[in-house]
Amino acid sequence: MLILSELWIYPIKSMGGIALTAATAQPRGLQYDRRWMLIDETGRFMSQREIPGMALLGTAIEDAHLRVFRKNTPAEHIRIPLQFPVGSLPVITTTIWDDTCLAQVLPPDINDWFSTQLGQKVQLVYMPDSTRRDADPQYAPEGQHVSFADGFPYLIIGQASLDELNRKLAEPLPMNRFRPNFVFTGGAPHEEDGWSDFQIGTVAFRGVKPCARCAIPTTNQETAERAAEPIKTLATYRNEGRKILFGQNVILTGEVGVLRVGERLLKSYEL
């Protein structure tokens, strides 16, 4: 039996995640997932690839605000309203990989806080509901949209996949290195690679492409230090076409719905 064991959102792309017991699955991802993003002065997205220190900033949602804080000194924080009055924020064009889309720029005091924390000039932007960014059209059907995530709305990883990796490592690593939205227990290591249609509770999804990993899993999410692992070890048994694969990219195919930790996952032949 496959069971949803963890639910995660990452409100600001490449910053700390939030573990939830329930979340609303929407077409472009879980509610609040990667709806904010840091950009540089050219409008290009920033991530832990360029700024490993982004890992040291945690997030929480409370009292209609997104709170961002330093993990080692939580009192050092900023509170950002989840909603600003319509038309109150300027709109600019941002770039995520090969995509461009419109985003709203948050006020200067918020941008100054992030610039100070990260030691370089950045701006925080928000993706409004009116923005439509297509999921990777090579794998996702037409009409599928995504937030500021790299290419797809969701990422799922089996706990067995991480356990298999950790058996090969000198020091085991936590799941947060891979930043999934869904973690499940049960099943065989990497069985999610071959999934197509599946269901969590009553909400329908489809696996569309195994996830090719970049350098971010080599970043310790508590210290921002980088090392060779786990990419070095994954390259010995998860290398396909010069890409390191770990986890499965997923799209929503059914109606918007609420997911809860503890619900069953059912694959297509079980539905």
Tell me the pTM.
0.96
CATH of the domain at 100: 2.40.33.20
Q: Binning pLDDT at 50, 70 and 90, where does residue 269 land?
A: low
Give me the domain span that covers residue 146.
2-270
Q: What is the pLDDT of residues 172-214, one digit of tens each?
A: 999 999 999 999 999 999 999 999 999 999 999 999 999 999 9
Number of H helices, E strands in the chain: 3, 19
* Residue 63 exposure: Cα atoms within 13 Å on the Cβ side: 3
> Residue 226 corresponds to which tokens in the numbers above?
């980088």
Q: What is the pLDDT of residues 53-66, one digit of tens each?
A: 999 999 999 999 99
Residue 203: Cβ within 10 Å count: 18
CA distance 208 to 204: 13
Q: What is the pLDDT of residues 16-65, one digit of tens each?
A: 999 999 999 999 999 999 999 999 999 999 999 999 999 999 999 999 99
* Whether residue 217 has pLDDT greater than 70: yes
> Residue 12 corresponds to which tokens in the numbers above?
């600001």
Number of domains in the chain: 1
Q: What is the pLDDT of residues 91-149, one digit of tens each?
A: 999 999 999 999 999 999 999 999 999 999 999 999 999 999 999 999 999 999 999 99
